[in-house]
Structure formats: structure tokens, C-alpha cells
Structure 1
């Protein structure tokens, strides 16, 4: 297991610096874009960049000011995650799962859990990971086999979680496990006895998202590990944590489309064919037009989902499904087109559009596959029409 160095104590968020789309864009252009190819090859986001994320206040800016956040709304959070996704889907994936953990602690944690964890989650001195997926049942929360039982005052967890984003680096795992009363959520520190982390490398996309298999071998989580009521987690995941993760992936997919537009506009301006720039060809212009149109449409769908969440509207759940369905497919479609436009240059290992292509495929799978979105959206149509 790789050692986990602590993030530099000096890398704390500046409360006077607002976190918004503009600040996130500047951070991405300055800190991420110049070196993303380097750390994607290494398969790991470097510690100094994680510290820079902390200094920029990007880990959990939606948390209230008293917890170390900035209290930004979810519409703004989506814009921030879009900008990070424009630069690097792996880094955005780390923000996604960290957001899920921090939001769950803020939403369902008791006073002791909030006091213990929120300030660290806000600053980035504690990084979170979400542990739902298992080898045999995937992400079906109703079928998980990881168990949690009482032993004295402690909770003891046994099971295996796989494909855990940021599992290699996280300090705190939000683990879904089955108790006698149903599925419950538990906060399990990385250094708890019985926790083993096994890195997963060589993935198609999001190569530096530090995936891992988390093995819980009678892991002792302590008496304060249970988050929310026992047996409450299945509904919590469907209506809360996973919804927020899905929203982040949708926004990150919009970022991929924006990156494709930028890369193709630049390349077709400089690349010359038949004595003129490639951009003068009508087929190139048609492809760019489709990219830009889907970019604006996907961003509008994400914005609608964010506004509905901020308003506390029940429709926000379905709005997020729709946004994720459209944006992830748009990312995959236009990343493929971007590689085609770049030709052989787009197939090189370190070509940005090759990375967009690999990452976009992942967006169609994580936080609910395209097929799951189709089933869910159609079910909602029938629910409203057939009474």
C-alpha cells in the first residue's frame, strides 16, 4: 500500500477569496492544464497540486462558513466542477467523491461528527472517498453484502469495496454496509484497524483518480461511526449523496465538451490543408457547430438542476438525471469527433483530445450508466402519465 503523506499545513483556503466559476477557471489554467499530462502518466494527482486545491478553497466550498467553507450555492458549485472537469476529469472526480462525503456529514452528521470532520473536509486536510460499489453487485445499494455489526460500543465492518475513487489517498471513507436493520452509512477512518487499501491502476480513463479496492477485515470503526439512523442509508444514497455525485459528473462532462471545443478551434486554426486553415472546411465548421450547440444545451441542463437544488425542489432529482444523461453522451460524442479532427495527432498518448476521449467514456458509466438514466427518466414519464 502506498504511503499517504499529509497535505501541507500551510495550504489553507483564503476566506477572502471567493470561489466561483472565474476563480476556478484561473486555477485550472494556472495549476492544472500545464501539467495534467505529466500526472496522468504517473497515475496520481501529486501532493503539491492537492495542496493547491486546498489553498484555492475548492474541496468543499458549499459548506457553511462556520465549518470552514464559503456557503456557495449548488449552482455555483456545478460551475466550479465544470471548470475543473475542463482541465482534468481525474481531479474533478476527486472533488466529486469528496463533495459527497462532506455533504453527507453536513446533512446527516450529529454534533460530534460535524465537529470532528467538517473543518478538515473543508480545508482539505482530510480527504474523503465514497465506498458503495462491490465486486459482485456493483453499485446496487439494495444488494450490498458488506456487513456492520456491534462489538461492545464499536462498529465492526467486513467486506470489499471496489473501484473507489480517491481510495488510494483518502483519509476518511463513507462506507455503505448492511446491519440487522438495513443498509446504513458509516464513517471509517483510513487508519482504523482492519482497513486495507489496494491500488487499482491501468484504467481506460480518469487515470489519476487514484482508484482502489478497500478491504474491510473486521475493521473497527468506533462508536461514533454510524452516520444518520441505522437502516436509513439506502434512501439517503438514492435521494442525496448519489444525486450530488451525479450532478458533479454532469457538470464535469460539460467541461469535457468545452475542452473539446477549445482544442478543436485552436488546432483547426493552425493546421493547414490545401493551402488554407483546416477551419475553413465546411465539415469542420459543422462539427464545431454541433459541439458548441450541445455545450450550451448541456450547460443549461446542469444550471437548471443546480437552481432546482438550491430551491429545494423535488424536480431537482429528475433534472440531474436528465443533465447527466445528456452531458455525458455529448462528452463522449464530441471527444470522439475531436480525435477525428486531430487525426493521428489526436491518437498520441499525451494528446489532450485522446485524454478527453478516454475520460468521456468513463462519464457514461459512473454515477449511473447511460442505460440506468434511460430507465429512470422513462419511468418518471410513465409515473406522471399513467395514474
Structure 2
């Protein structure tokens, strides 16, 4: 049995319990042992140099078993991607091996009570100068914040926006675990408060004037991509469970699968899942080929995959009936998790606006090209 197979079996056995207790810290080491943490980082930093398709398929395998484990894969990758893309040589050497090796758990602390993806509303402040700064503010909904050893914090200074790595094992950092939320209950989500917490200036990733938006965009793009693939894993698992139950379940001497309405639900789910998977593969290709459309195809993939997971899990719960709502059933757990995946990054309309703008730009470019061709 491979390390990945062992990890997936362990997650399958524990996911239901983690929904109540939270995923244990030892799973971080297990994920690192399986080569899942920062797998797309270079080998010199402990990664595997995996391409986008391999990374996505790993997210789908994890997502089919446990959203919280996939969330660890995602958030660890987000922080590592930001450091690898924008950090100094010294920062990469210090932080990346510890993140890919599971010695440190990372977190992304961007969201605030009145500031989500809108960076202009961030109130967290970095103060001081010289070798040490202080950070004060409150961040919400930090995935694995309750376990995080270091968090990439978005804030502001007198000179402009800042992104920096803040270690949590010091005075002035307070963790407030979040429990009983709708979904992702095993992902050790926490609110973090920074009360003049100390931070070495060498931990700054985005200096004032450098571009906080670039650093966070790198992290969020990585997260969006792996969430998309993770959602296809969820959706595929729900479709598999629903189809198996419909095939075997007999009610009043009639097989459940013989009901036209059940077949229709399974058919709709199959189309949704297949379409989302195709978009994820397209996004992977664009990312590996460094196509200019990579960002928008990733947005499209995440949008379609989250919708597929939500629809497939809802239909699965309906087909499974009481069994789908029973404790320990993954379709019921995924039903809640899928709703969170649709909420992340704001309302679905935000993605629809981005996609609509891309369609209009593409149409405009196509008309301009046709006009030029006709003029010749």
C-alpha cells in the first residue's frame, strides 16, 4: 500500500469523527509523508515539482474522501505558493521545506469583519520600523487557524499595504476556534486576534508599494484551483454512492433505479460532474502552458465544480434517503461542505461577473479581428 493510499484510508475512517472533533495534528505529518503538502513546489524545497494536472488530481482524490484533509492540502499550498513566487531566496529556504515537510502548518489571514476580498477595507495594522514590527487586528475564518504555526497576514502600514508571515507561538496572538459551522467542520477553522504581536521585519513578503494584491492573488489562485478539483472529487463520490444505492435498493418490489425521476437525477449529476472535470482539465492545461486564459479558466472550473458538488450531493442525499442523513455518511457531510465551497470568495454572482466580462472581451476581440480581416 502506498503512502497516499494509507492516507486516504485513514482519512476515510476518521472523517466522520473529525466532523465533530476536528482533524488531529498527526494528519499533517501523514499528509507530508504521502507527499501531499506543497507537492507542486520544487524538489529543492521538499516538493515534488508536480504539474497542475497532477496537483489537481491529488486534490480530487483527497476531496472524494474528506474536505478537511483537502483543505489542509489547499491552505498549505496557498501559503507555499505565495512564498515561492514572491519571497526572497532566504525566505524560501527557511519556510518552504518546513511547510512541505509538515513541520509547520500555515494559514492565510485575509478576511476581516468588514473586509473580504476587498483589500481596501482591511483594518489590521503593522506598526514600527527597523528589525521588528508589531501587528494588531482581528482576522476571521482562517482555515486551520487553530493549528497554524505561521499565518500569512494581510494588513496595512503607514506606508501602504503589507503581507507578512506572523508566527502564532508568541504573546499577543490569540486563537478562537470555530465549531459547529455549516461545513468544513474538521478544518480547524479559527478567528485570530493580534494584539501588538511581534514580527521580525524579515518576515515581510509584500513590502509597502510592492503589491499586496499580487501576493494574495497568487495564494487565492492556487486555492481556487485546488478547491475546484476537490469539488469534483466530492461530486464524483456522491454520484458513485447514489448510483450504487439506486442500483441495489428495492422498495415495494421495485428497484429504486427503475424510477424515472431517480434516473433523471443521476443523469443530471453525471453531466454536471463530467462538465466540471473537463473544465478542471482545461484549467490545468492552461496553467501548465502558462496561457493568458489560465486565471479565467480556473475561475470557471471552480464555479462549475462547486455547483456540481452542491447539486450532486443534494441529489445523493435525496436518493439515499434516511441513509444519506445518517451520521457517518459522506454524502450528507459533503452536502454541507459543498455549500461552503459555493460561499468561499463571496457570492456566485462575483464569479459570474468575472466570467461575463471575459465573454464580452472575447466577443469584442473577435469582432475586431473580423473587421480587420474584412478590411483586407
If the length of structure 2 is used for normalisation, what is the TM-score?
Answer: 0.92
Kindly tell me the number of residue pairs found equivalent between the two proteins.
365
Which residue of structure 2 lines up, in the alignment, with residue 38 of structure 1?
17
Other structure's SS at 1:34 match: helix
Give structure 2 stretches of 5+ with no counterpart: 366-376
- What is the SS of the residue equivalent to 2:13? coil
Structure 1 unaligned residues grouped into runs of 5+: 1-21
d(CA) in 2 for partners of 1:193, 1:130: 19
User: Does the Cα contact within 8 Å between 1:137 and 1:143 map onto a contact in 2?
Assistant: yes
1:146 aligns with 2:146: no
- Which residue in 1 is equivalent to 2:107? 129
Aligned 8 A contact 1:155 1:225 in 2: no
377-386 vs 179-188, which moves further: 377-386
Deviation string for 1:67-94 (max 9, x for gaps)? Answer: 1111011221111111111111111112
State the match for 1:179 in structure 2.
157
> Alignment partner for residue 64 of structure 2, among 73, 83, 86?
86
Larger % of helix: which? 2
Give secondary structure in 2 for the equivalent of 1:220.
strand
Query: For residues 28 and 139 of structure 1, what CA distance do their matches in structure 2 show?
Result: 33
**Alignment pair present for 1:102 and 2:53:** no
Structure-1 separation of matches of 2:119 and 2:200: 23
Cα distance in 2 for residues equivalent to 1:334 and 1:115: 42
Contact 1:260 1:338 in 2 (8 A): yes
User: Is the aligned partner of 1:170 residue 2:143?
Assistant: no
Indicate yes or no: 2:5 matched with 1:26.
yes
Alpha-carbon separation, structure 1, partners of 2:170 and 2:239:
45
User: Is contact 2:41–2:47 with CA below 8 Å preserved after alignment?
Assistant: yes
Q: Return closer, same or farther for 1:331/1:344 CA change in 2, 3 Å cut-off.
A: same
Give the Cα–Cα distance (whole angstroms) in 2 for the partners of residues 364 and 90 of structure 1.
15
**Equivalent in the alignment of 2:181:** 203
RMSD: 1.9
TM superposition shift of 1:308: 0.9
Aligned to 1:269: 247
SS in structure 1 at match of 2:128: strand
- Say yes or no: does 1:157 pair with 2:99: no
Structure-2 separation of matches of 1:113 and 1:123: 16
d(CA) in 2 for partners of 1:144, 1:24? 41
Partners of 2:8 and 2:301 lie apart in 1 by 25
Q: Which one of the candidate residues 230, 247, 252 is aligned to 2:208?
A: 230
Q: Which of the pair has more CA radius of gyration?
A: 2
Q: Give the TM-score, by structure 1 length.
A: 0.89
